Amino acid sequence: MSTSCGHPLSPTSLRSRPSHRTARVRPAAVRRREITLHDQRVTFLEAGARSGGPTVVLLHGLASSSATWGSVLPLLGRHAHVIAPDLLGHGESAKPHSGDYSLGAYAAGLRDLLLALGPERATVVGHSFGGGVAMQFAYQFPELTERLVLDASGGLGPDVTLALRAATLPGTAAALQLATALTPRPVADLVRRVARALPGVPAADLDGMSYALASFTERDARHAFVQTVRSTLNWAGQRLDGTGRLYLLADVPVLFVVGSTDTVIPTAHTRAAHERLPGSRLEVFEGTGHFPHSEHPARFAAALLDFLRTSRPAAPDVRSLRHRLRHPDHDVLTPR
């Protein structure tokens, strides 16, 4: 197994290759790997294992896979050891009917993957549902977390698109099976091409929906999706709100990324979380939907690499964590 320790980027490591030129340098090679954990297959994409840079983990959203990071991985891999797993029930990873699809289980699974692969600590990047997993990981395993990046993240407020709320209703699995049966892949591709021609519809959002629909042709994937949705959402919206524990991240460098025209999760959730966490950073991608990293991979990679270069990784500190648990209103949760 390849290993890489989490070291911060030195100020000089990017000096001759500025972050804004990320897309112009030769991209790093990306390879797909597989490991067995707890008798279950876990697949992941990897780049930059020998870069000498810090370890960065990229977590995808619901009904997605590591493929969503396809344009970002080669850019980041020049300067970091990047690992993008297919979460349990997604992509090419196992989809057990008896699987635990809760946020806590996903966070524990990520811990096990990192320990098995070798990196001691990591900067964890989560998109949408993956953002909720990333926050949960930081809460459960602060000793393994160097930084946190929340990309159009869930878990920061109750509101979410109607389609995801509807997925919590009884009969969702059967409805998804019917939808995929009535919408063959060629038809779905045609609809996507037509929709792409319409103004105001981000292509990356359409690609995300198209991928999700294609994945639902697999019975086990439909089951995993329904179980995951019901563990985090209900008809009223997101059941789990991580803002009440943001104060625990006071010593962790946090970067929020959001698209100004996100129609899946309100941009206001991210802006409010940024205001509640002094010291955090906010990158707003104007005119961008729910997939900032897909719509603007070069800009996303540049922002992330700059964040790695200009922030110091969090140091495990039990005393500080104990103090914040005992005095949650001190230092944090005060508007900027």
Q: Is residue 148 assigned to a domain?
A: yes
Q: Is residue 207 assigned to a domain?
A: no
Element containing residue 60 per DSSP (H, E)? none
Q: Is residue 132 assigned to a domain?
A: yes
* Identified catalytic residue from 79, 290, 293, 296: 290
Residue 38 sits in a domain whose CATH number is: 3.40.50.1820
Containing structural domain, residue 50: 19-160+239-315
pLDDT of amino acid 13: 36
167-208 pLDDT, tens digit each? 554 555 545 454 555 455 554 554 555 445 555 566 666 666
Active site residue 290: yes
Higher pLDDT among residues 4 and 309, named by residue:
309
Q: Is residue 171 assigned to a domain?
A: no
Q: Is residue 205 assigned to a domain?
A: no
227-268 pLDDT, tens digit each? 888 778 655 556 667 888 999 999 999 999 999 999 889 999
Q: Is residue 117 assigned to a domain?
A: yes
Active site residue 262: yes
Distance CA 215, CA 304 (A): 29
* Identified catalytic residue from 86, 205, 262, 306: 262
201-235 pLDDT, tens digit each? 666 666 666 666 666 677 888 888 888 887 786 55
Three-class secondary structure of residue 233 per DSSP: strand
58-69 pLDDT, tens digit each? 999 998 999 999
Report the 10 Å Cβ neighbour count for 235. Answer: 10
pLDDT of amino acid 10: 37
Q: Domain count of the chain?
A: 1
What's the number of CA atoms in the CB half-sphere (13 Å) around residue 297? 16
C-alpha dihedral over 263, 267, 273, 276, to 10 degrees? -150
Q: Is residue 263 assigned to a domain?
A: yes
Residue 258 phi/psi, 5-degree rounding, is: -155, 150
- Give the least confident one: 43-57, 75-89, 185-199: 185-199
pLDDT at 292 over 70: yes
pLDDT of amino acid 20: 43
CA distance to 60, 170, 291, 302, 327, per residue, from 286 (Å): 21, 37, 12, 16, 37
Residue 136: which of 95, 108, 164, 99 has the closest Cα? 108
Active site residue 260: no
pLDDT at 277 over 80: yes
Q: Is residue 298 assigned to a domain?
A: yes
* Identified catalytic residue from 65, 66, 93, 128: 128
The pLDDT confidence band at residue 17, using thresholds 50, 70 and 90, is very low
User: pTM of the full predicted structure?
Assistant: 0.82
Question: Could you tell me which residues come within 8 angstroms of residue 254 by beta carbon, excluding any fewer than 6 positions away?
Answer: 147, 148, 149, 150, 277, 279, 280, 281
pLDDT at 144 over 70: yes
Report the 10 Å Cβ neighbour count for 21. Answer: 12
Eight-state DSSP code of residue 314:
P
pLDDT of amino acid 234: 55
pLDDT at 18 over 70: no
pLDDT of amino acid 106: 97
